[in-house]
A and B are shown apart, each in its own frame.
Chain A
Amino acid sequence: MAKTEMNWAAIDADPRFQALHRKKTKFLWTLMTISMVYYFLLPIGTAYYSDLFKIKVWGSVNVGLVFALSQFIVAWAIAWIYAQRANSEFDPMAQAIINDAHNIK
């Protein structure tokens, strides 16, 4: 790609970029917060709610094991949700800006 001068400030101020920025920021940090809260429930739970973690739910399978395994499901789900949204929404929005970038002054 030939490196021509871009007016970065103008692109940043463009309503299409601002829309992308708002949507992406909100979505990303929401997912980030959910995943961090859910993850830290594990060390906090094992440390302070070990009685809860010991309750058997399926044969000798206890709440703690189910919760630990659910961490994998939640991590995969967040990755999948993010990839879907990024592919279907953020990428086309970014592409529209890229295509028009030279004309934004």
Chain B
Amino acid sequence: MRTPLTIRFLTSMPRKGWLALAIFALVAWVGVPMAHLMLPESSPFSVSAYTVTLMGKILCYAVVAVAMDLIWGYAGILSLGHGLFFALGGYGFGMYLMRQIGTDGSYGVNLPDFMVFLDWKELPWFWVGSDSFLWALVLVVAVPGALAFIFGYFAFRSRIKGVYFSIITQALTYAAMLLFFRNETGFGGNNGFTDFKRILGYDITSPEMRLTLFGLSAALLMFVLLLGRYLVTSKFGRVLAAIRDAESRVMFIGYQPLWYKLFIWTLSAVLCALAGALYVPQVGIINPSEMSAANSIEIAIWVAVGGRGTLVGPVIGAFIVNLAKSFFTVEFPEYWLFFLGFLFIGVTLFLPDGVVGLWRKLFARKPATETESPPPVQKPAAVPEKDEHLAAKGAAA
């Protein structure tokens, strides 16, 4: 008897997980809106606009972290280019937001300010359709998805992996950043997009819009967690983990790793792009610095801090690092890089399994569930990689 898909989906997570998800949904969709709109500011439970925006922003980061973990933690592919997909999603939706400004820009012309400034008379061809909300959503998914698919296809087909892949993705996002810095590219150069006014005609700064975006971010995170949960407990997830641990064995039993990697890689890129699209209206700006190498590597540290190879870990990691960032940049801006730097070093040296791993070690009740494959203690693929290197030298000698 094959179990129906719905049942398998429901049973892919223990009851406690569903309960936690329900509480999260209740807080995000009911608790926060009520606290923000109804309670007077003096109330200790009141949630300020700053807090809603900050939390909404971090929820988007959490989505990115989970997407990163799907390919890094479960498939062993460390991308240093996820900031690119995040930014592309943001730019895709940002184009729509720029068009929504209409004639309210500083020049009073129905063109984005930066185009007027460059003395352009009409929208370039790739802006066609950017007035439409639906087209914006298509762009958000299709452009990063297509880029990830094409790049991934060639990279995985050539069997580029490990550090090589990481460095190539870094080069990709660096090239894109240079491209977007140019004014002629048509995306506002250095300054990017900003000064958004409205979405679907509604004021972007109103509390209702703020809460809607916050709620959508929470919804996206829950969706990504459920999707991730389903994927990693399916046979697909087991094949993926097998590719991570011993790729050639997977090939010799008849799987084509290319398509498995490509699927999860493209999916991860699209999830990042969706998060980027929700992030931009909340922070009100998108510019090419989102594509810098530093941003992409920071995503990896969210995952590492939380615990790679788990789904809840990246969410925890994204919250810890970004709350610390907001704290430091306000209180001790000059120490933030020290903190972040030592976090990178400390986590890789002393907390290879992140906070979740630490929790499991402290409250050890046997490895959580059998279905969730535990994160690799020490990446086994790394050692043969070194051997190969040496073998190559040996062959030359």
Is B one of A's binding partners?
no
